[in-house]
A and B are shown apart, each in its own frame.
Chain A
Amino acid sequence: SQKIEQNSEALNIQEGKTATLTCNYTNYSPAYLQWYRQDPGRGPVFLLLIRENEKEKRKERLKVTFDTTLKQSLFHITASQPADSATYLCALDGSSYKLIFGSGTRLLVRP
Chain B
Amino acid sequence: DTAVSQTPKYLVTQMGNDKSIKCEQNLGHDTMYWYKQDSKKFLKIMFSYNNKELIINETVPNRFSPKSPDKAHLNLHINSLELGDSAVYFCASSQDWGAGNTIYFGEGSWLTVV
Contacts and interface: CB of A to CB of B under 8 A. Distances in A.
A93 B101 CA distance: 9
Interface stretch (B35-43, B65-73, B74-82): B35-43
Interface in A32-82: 32, 34, 41-46, 49, 51
Nearest to A32: B100
Interface of B: 4, 40-45, 48, 56, 90, 92, 97-108
Contacts of B40: 103
Contact of B104 (A41, A42, A46, A101): A46
B108 A34 contact: no
Interface of A: 30-32, 34, 41-46, 49, 51, 87, 89, 93, 96-101, 103-104
13 contacts: A30-B99, A34-B102, A41-B107, A43-B107, A43-B108, A44-B43, A46-B102, A46-B104, A51-B100, A93-B99, A99-B45, A101-B42, A104-B41
B99 A32 contact: yes
